[in-house]
Chain A
Amino acid sequence: DAGVIQSPRHEVTEMGQEVTLRCKPISGHNSLFWYRQTMMRGLELLIYFNNNVPIDDSGMPEDRFSAKMPNASFSTLKIQPSEPRDSAVYFCASSFGQVAGFGPGTRLTVL
């Protein structure tokens, strides 16, 4: 079975550019989570969806961040405009009941 798939694995961009991170959850999972991991802040929950509906986006740091889940098999996290302090590893996770899986992460560097 394929696990959670994230793309790209690495992204280097310049300040001010738009960045789009993509996630394909495990088939059959009905919850999807976006996290950001940095040395300073650890693993922060940004937003989570249940049945494609955003349930809690209180972790989204600023209006520059937005997330969508147009269907059960795809989600995006967009940063526009990006800033150097957005540099981090962004993880996507999905779950169904107690079964949860993580993607490999996207390492974002904003210069």
Chain B
Amino acid sequence: GEDVEQSLFLSVREGDSSVINCTYTDSSSTYLYWYKQEPGAGLQLLTYIFSNMDMKQDQRLTVLLNKKDKHLSLRIADTQTGDSAIYFCAEYDKLIFGTGTRLQVFP
């Protein structure tokens, strides 16, 4: 079946860039998403990329997609303490989520 995998933890210093990686198996995915979940809260859609694109930039967020390797990444520029959360990638057609990466930002 479809699978989406992420590393579990990432720690960065405030002001540095963060890069969160994701691999997926379903080559028929039409969209790939990044969601953010803060403690005790629901999931907030950050951005998404269509499968025929290889890059999308949205303010501090840059999404890179390598469709050949089925690899997706989210780069957060100038990471702030408010960016501390769990980040999920997800693939659509079935909206399968990865395990989530807990990003911790140190001042």
Contact = CB atoms under 8 A, between A and B. Distances in A.
Contact of B99 (A42, A56, A98, A101): A42
A41 to B, nearest CB: 9
Interface residues of B, number: 21
Nearest to B48: A98
B92 A91 contact: no
23 contacts: A31-B95, A33-B95, A35-B97, A42-B97, A42-B98, A42-B99, A43-B97, A45-B94, A45-B97, A58-B1, A91-B42, A93-B95, A95-B92, A95-B95, A98-B92, A100-B33, A100-B48, A100-B92, A100-B95, A102-B44, A103-B42, A104-B42, A105-B42
Interface of B: 1, 30-31, 33, 35, 41-45, 48, 50, 88, 92, 94-100
